[in-house]
Structure 1
Amino acid sequence: MFLTQTSSPAPPEGKDIEKMVEKYEGASARRTLSGPVGLFVAIVAGLFALFYLYQSKFGIISPEANRGIYVGITVFLCLLLYPASKKSPRNRITILDAVLALLAVVVTVYFVINYGQMANRIGFVTTPDLIMGLIAIVLCIEATRRVTGNVLAVIAVIFVIYALFGPYFPGILSHKGFTLHRVAGFLFSSLYGIFGGVAAIFANFVFMFMLFGTFLEFSGAGKFFIDFPYSLLGRARGGPAKVAIIASGLMGSINGSAAANVVTTGTFTIPLMKRVGYKPHMAGAIEAVASTGGMLMPPIMGAGAFVMSEFTGISYWHIVLVSFVPAVLYYMYLYLMVEYQARNLGLSGLPKSELPDPRHELKQGWYYLLPVAVVIYLLVNGYSPGAAAFWGITGCVALSWVRKDTRMGLKEIGNALVKGTVQSLTVGATVGTIGIIVGVVYLTGLALKFSSLLLALSGGILPVAILLVGVAAYVLGMGITATTSYVILAVLAAPALQELGVEVLAAHLIIYWMSLIGNINPPVCLAAFAGAAIAQADPMKTGWTAVRFGQPLYIIPFLFAYTPILFNGPTPEVIRAIAGAFLGIYMVAGFTQGYQLRKLNWVERILAGISAVMLCWPDFNTDVMGFVLMIMLLLWQMVTIRRQRAGASDIKIQQ
């Protein structure tokens, strides 16, 4: 279906990255279309990307066109590119697919043309409005089902049933119920349902940065983001694992998908980790955790920073600044875990003769950092995320011409536009369905009911409420993407956390971090499963190992609630909270891995765990006690190490 990509770096050992991304992003297998039909779909996908590039530079034509075209054409492409069932043909579209795709276009045109009239007669739904609304609801849910599976589609159906049959639901969930006209009209004809704020966020921010990530890849930057850390850290103890941490953090911040990041960087890093001595399940787990952390890493945060900014009304730049320390804590812990594991196993790095020269790699590719720098500069100076992404993409194309083998001509630009659009469908397919869910929440007042239910179940106890949010995020994460999970819970759960005294941004960051748990926590952990597939390891063993290496996902959300780690307090308190968090995470790594300056016995390991809890606990006295215990433990290790060395020297002298 697509034009052949000639400039982007080839995947290591010929692995089919696109197929792996589909499999481990929770997406169904995509059709491969050729001939006139394939060309037609590719042209539509390319023009779709060009339309949003144009809007990013010259401004949104109108809200209804911006949102309507994004949802409509996304559904159109999903219905053509993703088969209805396993029995459907994979190399051609069926008559049913063509009819449904055509209906998606009709519904989109109707919405864009008639939105003004529908807005003027809000509350009065005509028969054509009802018919188009019902078709739109069915098509959005069907597109989601085809691309991402049944979970989110079933949730959306349950929400529609809830809107229609409110009086039949028990207790606090009960409401007066709404007619089919009211439900379909609200979800279709207003900017609070299918074409609501979620569609705007994905069209203006998420899609543009996914497109930016594709252009970075085509320009050769993806290769540099792997090769440079490889040349720099390959010789270090357990070097390939440290390469995975840096490369996955860089790539994951931009591409916004942990599973896609695993199969992109993991095809390179996992075999190298296995080669230097990491067990297969451990190599897969390290890559999965590193890739998941990319969505926490500023400045892009997998587009999470932009989505959060829209929900909270807090500036993008403030979110980025306060997210930096938690992201560093996450990767510091992972780095320590890798280092301690390498020491425990007696691992070494790769031979210098096999590694490229870091200076040469930096000289060859330093300019690939410029598009990212341009994006950051523009965002800091008040440009819209879309405009920043536009100039970042423009920079990628310009910089690709520095080297002959990466130059992007019209053919390569066309390939990047098409590939970026098609890859975005795994996320875009959920937008209309999320809009249905959010629309029902607004229509029925479910957010307040859910908050009351959460408060009742938790007994008003904040730690219990956070745990319940984590469970909800984990369950949702089994079947939908982290961004989708965050959007749903931001509407439902954030008000409850705020009612318990958590600040707005802290509440949203708690939900966002916990939405990533599903990537690594069994039984369904797509990022870990992707790592296991590349490493040829046991999936469940890889998943449970990933949980051990990804402990900050479970710890740091509590710090958001109980400490001023987000710079939301007096300066002395902020400094103490950050220092305590860093020291606490250091001790958590020692406790989990059973190693610090040397291997720890079980007593020392327990003391390290106690010190970690004290340092992370939001109290000055416990911080002091935890710090003293940490110093005593480290001094004891230094003394015993010195004794061991002295004993070894005496033995040598006697010999």
Structure 2
Amino acid sequence: MDELKKNGTNPPNDTEPINGELTDELQKKLKELDKESNTVEYSGIFGKIIAAICICFSLFQIYTGIFGTLDAMIQRCIHLSFGLCLVYLLCPTKKEWIKDGKFHWLDVGLAILAMVPPVYILVNYQQLILRAGTVTPLDTVIGTLGIVMVIEAARRIVGLPIVIVVLCFLGFGFFGPYMPGPLAHRGLSLQQMVGHLFFTTEGVFGIPLGVSSTFIFLFILFGAFLEKTGLGKFFIDIANAIAGWASGGPAKVAVLSSALQGTISGSSVANVVGSGSFTIPMMKKLGYHKNFAGAVEAAASTGGQLMPPIMGAAAFLMAEFVGIPYMEVVKAAVVPAILYFLGVFLGVHFEAKKHHLEGTPRSELPPWGKIMKEEGHLAIPLIAIIGLLASGYTPMKAALAGIFISIATAMLRKNTRMSFYDIVDGLIKGARGALGVLVACAAAGMIIGVVTKTGVGLKLASALVTVAAGNFMLLLFCTMLTSLILGMGVPTTANYVITSTIAAPALIQLGVPTLAAHMFVFYFGIIADITPPVALAAYAGSAISGGDPLKTGVNASKLGIAAFIIPYVFVLSPQLLGIGATFTSVLMTTTTAIIGMIGISGAMIGQFYTRANVFERLILAAGGLCLIDPHGLTDLIGVALLVGVGVMQWFRSKKEKA
């Protein structure tokens, strides 16, 4: 054991993957961390029933994608019916009750009961339209049941934090007259609350569920088919060929592969598991400490939701909320995503230089030409979807085309060809993968419904401005804290819905462009996955590496420092998002920001030309921040500080060698 540590190789542990395969113990830990993957598997006829429901769900979404969506309320009701039914069956009341792979009668009853409210709307749709605004006693009972079933489904597959947030907003709606000061309002009766939240497109069936029932589901299905083609392996292989030979090669492979993997996975934890089971053991074998190895994968995987062209589900909601085409969101996200991953890449590079960690010999790496010949065609669907989005196709049509293109391109070579059962399995995995987002969107819709019915959004935005005393930077800091705290327990989708409803309007009040304000809260909602103490991606990384979760989270935050800085930059200088910018201004802002990231990464790791002392790290941090601030004078000061540190270290290293 001691000999292994001396040679820079960490000893194996009970949870470490073997040849990229996750052990049962590790699978158990990851299910505890990722609520959405914590579902049961049924066998026999019961497993076939689940598969049949999932297939029907996916085929319904594909059908409406091809022939056009139904009326908004009908489309969303069917979407929610499938989702709730599957959640109550796959996330049983008690797992101990599931014996011999069979359903428990209570869960079957709850699944049927959960479908009653949306089916009631479908059956009585015309009558509900004719008496719009009038809620009968039966409507109130059915609507109340629907709200309760959505909240319980959210508890099962998303987690308790979002339930607490939803209940707080519902309580605010009911107890308005008892609220303090400007937050007080007349209060809503049960009939008013249910009528607004369940029988209009302002609550459960609002914009979030509308986006889930069209764009998001098809993109998740697209991702499921891309995984079936073996695209994840191609990403790891190509990243190995590009960076495996460099200093700290496996860590750089992790950064590149996770950036690419993020385009097909909207979950930080799923991304950590998917690529981390390969890359983390490689990093440990090279000599990276287990806390750092887990942090690299966590930071890189979390950034996957920021990576165009297919970002997290919240990005589709952003396009709807801001009222711009999704492609505009993608364009705005390009430069910030590059800066984020560059920051992580520089962090692992400086760590490798600091500890003299070399890469994998080129002779042991897969040849570039061979990879492209055997697997290069798998990238065609991604290239195609970028082209479709850029040429004006709606995200739904682009995702639909991507599904068929991914199946067709996989057929081009025997080693990637999908069988009929692979295609069916893709339909099943796509439906199961969409459940967490679906329920989160339905629950988040209730939050929006209360906000629109009571007008509390503007009141809270004004309160935020008041708390910050009109100080712009303090307001940004308060908004950042709000997003981080919510993100520690609430999925990115719901987190973005809450913060975009409450915090983003406060930024807009002080003159921040709408897209920049929404991107600001979007970024911090995502980065919560690596921010201690509740850093789910870091916990997943530490579960694979065998490291300490808190230390892994701290290291991941240091590596992902760019995500804490970049949002301030594009709020202060919206040109970084392409808002009112020319090519020259974007190029200049990006170039200085990249140089600034070099300084900040060096300060975080304690390495520049050579090891940096405390004084040099402070100068590097100051110089990096000056360069990230997009102004001529600060840029000159930043360059001078970085050059100064580089020169000092160069002379010191020469002296030490002599």
Q: Same fold (TM over 0.5)?
A: yes
1:105 aligns with 2:115: yes
1:33 to 24, 27, 42: 42
- Is the contact between residue 26 and residue 526 of structure 1 (CA under 8 Å) also seen in structure 2? no
Secondary structure (helix, strand or coil) at the match of 1:108 reads helix
CA distance in 2, matches of 1:44, 1:504: 40
Amino acid at match of 1:36: I
Distance change (3 Å), C-alpha of 1:27 and 1:317: closer
- Is the contact between residue 26 and residue 479 of structure 1 (CA under 8 Å) also seen in structure 2? no
Q: Deviations over 1:317-372 (max 9, x none)?
A: 22212211111111111111111100101111123343222221121111111001
- Is the contact between residue 513 and residue 557 of structure 1 (CA under 8 Å) also seen in structure 2? yes
1:232 aligns with 2:229: no
1:610 aligns with 2:622: yes
Could you tell me how far 1:570 is from its partner in structure 2?
5.0
1:538 aligns with 2:543: no
User: What is residue 165 of structure 2 aligned with on the other side?
Assistant: 155
User: What is residue 6 of structure 2 aligned with on the other side?
Assistant: none
Amino acid at match of 1:578: T
2:579 to 538, 558, 568: 568
CA distance in 2, matches of 1:294, 1:231: 20
Distance change (3 Å), C-alpha of 1:243 and 1:82: same
2:643 to 631, 638, 650: 631
Could you tell me how far 1:634 is from its partner in structure 2?
2.7
- Is the contact between residue 322 and residue 566 of structure 1 (CA under 8 Å) also seen in structure 2? yes
Distance change (3 Å), C-alpha of 1:618 and 1:13: closer
CA distance in 1, matches of 2:67, 2:385: 17
1:182 aligns with 2:211: no
Amino acid at match of 1:12: G
1:67 aligns with 2:76: yes
Could you tell me how far 1:577 is from its partner in structure 2?
2.8
Amino acid at match of 1:234: G
Worse overlay, 293-302 or 424-433: 424-433
Could you tell me how far 1:482 is from its partner in structure 2?
1.5
- Is the contact between residue 78 and residue 143 of structure 1 (CA under 8 Å) also seen in structure 2? yes
Q: Deviations over 1:249-292 (max 9, x none)?
A: 11112210110000000000000000000000100000000001
Distance change (3 Å), C-alpha of 1:361 and 1:71: same
**Map 1:490-639 → 2, pairs under 5 A:** 490-563=500-573, 564-569=575-580, 571=582, 573-639=585-651
- Is the contact between residue 29 and residue 543 of structure 2 (CA under 8 Å) also seen in structure 1? no
- Is the contact between residue 440 and residue 491 of structure 2 (CA under 8 Å) also seen in structure 1? no
- Is the contact between residue 24 and residue 260 of structure 1 (CA under 8 Å) also seen in structure 2? no
User: What is residue 419 of structure 2 aligned with on the other side?
Assistant: 409
CA distance in 1, matches of 2:581, 2:385: 31
Q: Deviations over 1:502-540 (max 9, x none)?
A: 110100110010001221011111100000000011111
1:79 to 79, 83, 88: 88
Could you tell me how far 1:121 is from its partner in structure 2?
2.2
User: What is residue 651 of structure 1 aligned with on the other side?
Assistant: none
2:252 to 242, 263, 266: 242
Distance change (3 Å), C-alpha of 1:13 and 1:33: closer
Secondary structure (helix, strand or coil) at the match of 2:70 reads coil
Secondary structure (helix, strand or coil) at the match of 1:255 reads coil
Distance change (3 Å), C-alpha of 1:364 and 1:51: same
CA distance in 1, matches of 2:168, 2:497: 17
Secondary structure (helix, strand or coil) at the match of 2:262 reads helix
Could you tell me how far 1:603 is from its partner in structure 2?
2.7
Secondary structure (helix, strand or coil) at the match of 1:529 reads helix
Could you tell me how far 1:483 is from its partner in structure 2?
2.2
- Is the contact between residue 238 and residue 347 of structure 1 (CA under 8 Å) also seen in structure 2? yes
Could you tell me how far 1:416 is from its partner in structure 2?
0.9
Could you tell me how far 1:426 is from its partner in structure 2?
2.3
Q: How many residues align?
A: 637
Could you tell me how far 1:393 is from its partner in structure 2?
0.9
CA distance in 1, matches of 2:560, 2:236: 22
Amino acid at match of 2:512: V
**Map 1:304-453 → 2, pairs under 5 A:** 304-453=314-463
Amino acid at match of 1:613: L
CA distance in 2, matches of 1:585, 1:447: 36
**Map 1:90-129 → 2, pairs under 5 A:** 91-129=101-139
- Is the contact between residue 36 and residue 435 of structure 2 (CA under 8 Å) also seen in structure 1? no
CA distance in 2, matches of 1:190, 1:632: 63
- Is the contact between residue 71 and residue 431 of structure 1 (CA under 8 Å) also seen in structure 2? no
Worse overlay, 41-50 or 456-465: 456-465
Worse overlay, 28-37 or 511-520: 28-37
CA distance in 1, matches of 2:43, 2:506: 51
CA distance in 2, matches of 1:432, 1:172: 28
TM-score scaled by length of structure 1:
0.93
RMSD: 1.9
Distance change (3 Å), C-alpha of 1:11 and 1:114: farther
- Is the contact between residue 314 and residue 496 of structure 2 (CA under 8 Å) also seen in structure 1? no
1:264 to 267, 274, 291: 274
TM-score scaled by length of structure 2:
0.93
CA distance in 2, matches of 1:574, 1:232: 27
- Is the contact between residue 36 and residue 436 of structure 2 (CA under 8 Å) also seen in structure 1? yes
